[in-house]
A and B are shown apart, each in its own frame.
Chain A
Amino acid sequence: MSGWRHDTLGSTIDRNKPLAFTFDGQPLTGFAGDTVASALMAAGVQTVGRSFKYHRPRGLWGLGAEEPNAIFDITHNGYTRPNQRGTLVSLADGMEVRSVNTAPTAAKDRWGWLDRLHRFLPAGFYYKTFMAGGWMRWEPRIRALAGLGTLDPDHAPKGAAQINAKTPLMVIGSGPAGLAAARAAAERGQAVWLMEADAALGGSLRWRGGQIDGQDPQSFIDATRAAINAAGGRIFTGTTVWGAFDHRLFAAWQREPQRHWRIRADRVILAAGAIERPIWFANNDLPGVMSAEAALHGLRLFGALPGKQIVVTTANDSAYPVAFALAAAGVDVTIADARPEGPKADGVKIRRSATVTAAQGRTHVTGAVINGALQAADAILTAGGHTPSVHLWCQAGGKLDWNASRDALIPRPNTADMTVVGAANGSFGLRAALSEGHSAGDGHPPAPSANVEADAPYPIAPVRPDPALPGRQWVDLQNDVTLKDVGLAAREGFTSVEHLKRYTTLGMATDQGRTSNFGGLAAMAAQTGRTIPETGTTTYRPPFQPVPLTVLGGPRRCELFNPPKRLALESAHRDLGARFREYGGWLRPAVYGDGDEADLAQQGAATARKTVALFDASPLGKLEVIGPNAGQLLDFTGYVRMSSLNPGRARYGFMLRENGVIFDDGVVLRPAEDRWIVSASSSHVDGVRFMLEDARQDRLARKGVAIHDVTAAWTTLTATGPRARMMLENAGIPVPDMPHMGVVETALDDAALRIARVSFTGDLSYELSVPTHHADALRARLDRALAAVDGQWIGLESVMILRAEKGFILIGKDTDGITMPHDLGWGGPREKRADEYLGKRSLFTPEARSNNRRQLVGLTVDSAPLVTGAHLVPADGPRTSLGFVTSSYQSPVLGRPIALALLADGRARMGQTIGVFNDGTVVEATISPLCAFDPGGERLHG
Chain B
Amino acid sequence: MDERDWTDRPLGEDDVLTLGSLEVRRQKIGPACLVTGDLTAAQTAFDQGAPVGLCGQMTPQAASVRIARDLALFPGGAVKPGWHDSFAVSDADGVYICLSLSGRGAKAALAQGTSVDLDAPSPSAAIQFAGVKALLTRRGDAYLLWVEAPMETYVTSFLRGIDDEAFD
Query: Which residues does A use to contact B, with CB under 8 Å?
Result: 161-166, 257, 259, 262, 264, 555-556, 558-560, 563-568, 570-571, 579-582, 586-587, 624, 626-628, 672, 674-675, 702, 705-714, 752, 771-773
Contacts and interface: CB of A to CB of B under 8 A. Distances in A.
Given A559-B5, A567-B150, A626-B83, A163 B111 contact: yes
A571 to B, nearest CB: 7
B40 interface: no
B162 to A, nearest CB: 7
B64 to A, nearest CB: 15
Nearest to A165: B111
B153 A566 contact: yes
B116 to A, nearest CB: 8
A672 B157 CA distance: 40
Interface of B: 1, 3-10, 34, 36-37, 70, 81-83, 87-96, 108, 111-112, 114-117, 130-131, 148-154, 157-158, 161-163, 165-166
Nearest to A162: B112
B131 A708 contact: no
B94 A708 contact: no
A257 B157 CA distance: 21
Contacts of B131: 556
B111 A586 contact: no
A771 B93 contact: yes
B33 to A, nearest CB: 9
Given A672-B82, A675-B82, A708-B36, A565 B151 contact: yes
Given A559-B1, A560-B157, A579-B4, A710 B111 contact: no
A575 B148 CA distance: 24
Given A708-B34, A712-B94, A712-B148, A558 B115 contact: no
A708 B151 contact: no
A555 B9 contact: no
A582 B154 CA distance: 14
B87 A164 contact: no
A152 B158 CA distance: 25
Most buried by A among B5, B93, B130, B158: B93
B111 A563 contact: no
Contact of B161 (A163, A555, A579, A587): A555
A342 to B, nearest CB: 50
Contacts of A706: 36-37, 83, 87-88, 90
Given A568-B149, A570-B10, 17 more contacts: A163-B112, A164-B114, A563-B154, A566-B6, A580-B6, A581-B4, A626-B83, A672-B82, A675-B81, A708-B34, A708-B92, A710-B91, A712-B96, A712-B148, A713-B93, A772-B94, A773-B94
A400 B165 CA distance: 40
B111 A164 contact: yes
A773 B152 CA distance: 15
B157 to A, nearest CB: 6
Contacts of B165: 257
Contact of B152 (A163, A566, A571): A566
A624 B90 contact: yes
Contact of A559 (B34, B37, B157, B166): B157
A554 to B, nearest CB: 8
Contacts of B166: 161, 163, 259
Nearest to A258: B163
Nearest to A674: B83
A132 to B, nearest CB: 43
A588 to B, nearest CB: 11
Contacts of A558: 1
A681 to B, nearest CB: 15
A335 B50 CA distance: 78
Contacts of B152: 566
A262 B115 contact: yes
A582 B156 CA distance: 19
Nearest to B8: A559
Given A582-B3, A587-B6, A706-B87, A555 B94 contact: no
B154 A560 contact: yes
A884 B72 CA distance: 46
A565 to B, nearest CB: 3
